[in-house]
A = this chain, B = another copy of it.
Amino acid sequence: MVKHTGRPGYLQIADNLREKIRGGSLAPGTPLPSTAQLAEQYGASLSVVKMAVGLLRNEGLVIGQQGKGVFVRDDVPPAPPPTDELAEIRLTLRDLSERLAKVEAQLSDRR
């Protein structure tokens, strides 16, 4: 499942889950699959799944309850405060720049 792009796996998984939550595919109050299931589903190790879930937890999108599971928060902040969104955009820009630089390097090598 995890693509062979420059973007690290734990970010890809976090992106995917975030998208599903924001898109309503994972409704508020519903539990995410367990970390073990997610690991198998994405073809990743437990650790990267835990890192991805930790990100969402840190963003407040999701709440983990020991022994039960990880649940989508009811009050999903639909629009993160402008500064947060700006920060996210900057991160995305940096990611794109790095990946583009690598692609350009490979292209010039084979030219």
Chain A residues engaging chain B, CB cutoff 8 angstroms: 3-6, 55, 58-60, 77-78, 80, 82-83, 85-87, 89-93, 96-97, 99-101, 103-108
Contact = CB atoms under 8 A, between A and B. Distances in A.
A105 to B, nearest CB: 7
Contacts of A90: 60, 89
6 contacts: A3-B105, A5-B105, A77-B83, A78-B86, A80-B83, A103-B107
How many copies of this chain does the complex contain?
Answer: 2
Contacts of A97: 92, 96
A47 to B, nearest CB: 10
Contacts of A87: 59-60
